[in-house]
Amino acid sequence: MAPPPRRRRPTGGRRNRVAPPTAGARQNNGRAAPASRRNINEPLNEAPLPRAEVLEALPVVALVGRPNTGKSTLFNRLTRSRRALVAPTPGVTRDRNIGMATLGERRVLLIDTGGFEADEGEQLAQAVRAQALVAADAADVVVAVLDARAGLNPLDRLLIERLRPLRQPVLVAVNKVDTAKQDDLVHEFFALGVEPLYPISAEHGIGVGELLDAVVAHLPDEVEAAASEAEPPTSVAIIGRPNVGKSSLLNRLVGYERSIVSAVPGTTRDALDTPITRNQRAYVLVDTAGVRRRPRVQAHIERASVVRALRAIERAEVGVLLIDGVEGMTEQDARVAGYAWERGRALLLLVNKWDAVPDDRRDAKTVLDDIDHRYPSLTVVPKRVISARTGKGVERIWAAIDAVAAAHRARLPTAKVNAVLEAATRAQEPPMVRGVRPRLFYATQTASAPPTITIFCNAPERITPAYERFLLNRLRDTFGLEGTPLRLKFRARPRRAR
């Protein structure tokens, strides 16, 4: 095995004499797969995120490269098992560009920047620069994916030039080297002056294990989760598009001086989390440094902010999504909300700048109802209007955070859960599917944060989505659970031991 790879800055000349690492890397394919490759396909982990992990720092790995080099193929390969965990939420656009991956022992957030380049009319060169900016802003490790079959492209050179000054380690994968015969394809990429190169076939999984081992070797050290018996603090991420008023709200919530003084280094290197206590309750405001940081390049603020929001969500229990009340809710707002929801986070939606909303539109009920109407899946998310500028509604945010956090951690008594389901099935039987009418036997909560109920039945695969929604609504009618996802799992009834 090669020693852990290091990114080398070219020091001029000489580079061509270094033998390409292809041969050695390829021989590994016959051997037992390295840890990183085995674990990619690990069976579905049914457990929800343990509480301790909610605060865990997730390192971010960004995939960059021109369109069509195979980024999404690699992304899918690495996130496959994780993404299967995420139940689609009807009505909310899914974001396919961010996913969890388990590399060896480490869990990471994987970002496929390819998805961010779709802006109409944006030139490729600009897209490449933008990717580099996103990587610089959000990643702990950058993987540049180049296309061996297309050969070295001027845009590849541009990308590598852009990545060179970053503080993050950059690994260069040369993709589409599908057979040993094609190893020669890698040679021309040595002109980039980057070593080692990682020849891979994202499609066939060849060489990917070696690449991942290198990624893992470059990840920042794991932060130990604080072991504590006490109720953990509620971690809160304030998220939203640029200029919606996040830092104004943050200042209101923590007080400007106080937030500076009490800011302590958080669980990742570049994030500053702010612990605060309100009414004897402990909270951690996640990535408050990111909230304050001013992006440098105007044109790319939006995309960088999405990445930052998603990253903050990964580390928080409660997402507080700020909407600009003057502009109204946008598709991007909905995407971020959908992502937080799919990731099982509690959510609170605040329509800010209420003071600036014109009189003829300043009717809170109409505005909030309209959001429900346009995004039905957000109906169960509590919504408030506030003004970070005047302070209107700000003090009540704490109670709203407590409420959604409590719903998120709720323990639902088994007897009551079963009573609700019994009444529900009596009112409306599960519909027949291919000649079989599913029967529900017994249910119990199997996880919290978010609450997850497992229902044992005779034909789990024949429960229709509509019927599942019906059951979810019945459960919500009884238990409330505003602002938290609620999940159902259907399992075949376990065999009785005899």
Q: What is the binding site for ligand GDP (CB under 6 A)?
A: 65, 67-73, 114, 175-176, 178, 201-203, 240, 242-248, 291, 352-353, 355-356, 387-389
Nearer to ligand GDP by Cβ, of 243 and 454: the residue is: 243
- Cβ distance to ligand GDP smaller for residue 234 or 247: 247
Residue among 323 and 378 whose Cβ is closer to ligand GDP: 323
How far apart are CB 388 and ligand GDP at their closest, in Å? 4
Residue 202 CB, nearest approach to ligand GDP (Å): 4
CB nearer to ligand GDP: pick between 291 and 453: 291
Q: Shortest Cβ distance from residue 96 to ligand GDP (Å)?
A: 10
Strands 272-278 and 264-265: antiparallel
Least distance (Å) between residue 235 CB and ligand GDP: 19
Indicate the residue among 21 and 245 with the shorter CB distance to ligand GDP. 245
Report residue 459 as tokens. 């034909």
Q: Are 462 and 433 in contact (CB under 8 A)?
A: yes
Helix axes 465-479, 414-427, angle to 10 degrees: 130
Q: Which is nearer to ligand GDP, 141 or 320 (CB)?
A: 320
> Which lies closer to ligand GDP via its Cβ, residue 352 or residue 452?
352
Q: How many CB atoms neighbour CB 435 within 10 A? A: 6
**440-447 and 452-457 strand pairing:** antiparallel
> Exposure pattern of 79-106 as b/e (b: 16+ CB <10 Å)?
bebbbeebeebeebeebebbbbbbbbeb
Q: Where are the beta strands (DSSP E) in 37-132?
A: 60-64, 98-103, 106-112
CB of 159 to ligand GDP, least distance (A): 12
Q: Indicate the residue among 187 and 389 with the shorter CB distance to ligand GDP.
A: 389
Confirm if 366 and 337 have CB atoms less than 8 A apart: no
Smallest distance from ligand GDP to CB 70, Å: 3
Question: Residue 64's closest CA among 149, 151, 164?
Answer: 164
Q: What is the smallest separation between the CB atom of 48 and ligand GDP, expressed in angstroms?
A: 30
How far apart, in whole angstroms, are the C-alpha atoms of residue 415 and residue 423?
12
Q: Compare residues 107 and 176 and give the one whose CB is closer to ligand GDP.
A: 176
What are the phi and psi torsion angles at 453 (to 5°)? -115, 130
SS3 30: helix
Judged by CB, which is closer to ligand GDP: 68, or 379?
68
Minimum Å gap between C-beta 245 and ligand GDP is 3
CB 75 within 8 A of CB 173: no
* Cβ nearer to ligand GDP, comparing 200 with 420: 200
Minimum CB distance to ligand GDP, residue 201 (Å): 4
Distance in Å, CB of 248 to ligand GDP, minimum = 3
Q: What is the DSSP string of 132-189?
A: HHHHHHH-SEEEEEEETTT---HHHHHHHHHHTT-SS-EEEEEE---SGGGGGGGGGG
Q: Please state whether 2 falls in left (phi above 0), alpha (psi between -120 and 50) or beta.
A: beta
> Quick one: which of 270, 10, 25, 22 has its CA closest to 160?
10
Closer to ligand GDP by Cβ: residue 274 or 352: 352
**Taking Cα atoms as reference points, which of 386, 356, 355, 346 lies closest to residue 368?**
386
CA distance linking residue 476 with residue 417, whole number of Å: 11
**Which of 167, 180, 104 lies closest to 140 in space, CA to CA?**
167
With contact defined as beta carbons under 8 Å apart, do 195 and 16 qualify? no
Chain centre distance of CA 479: 28
Q: Compute CA distances 230 → 55, 188, 226, 275, whole Å.
A: 15, 58, 11, 15
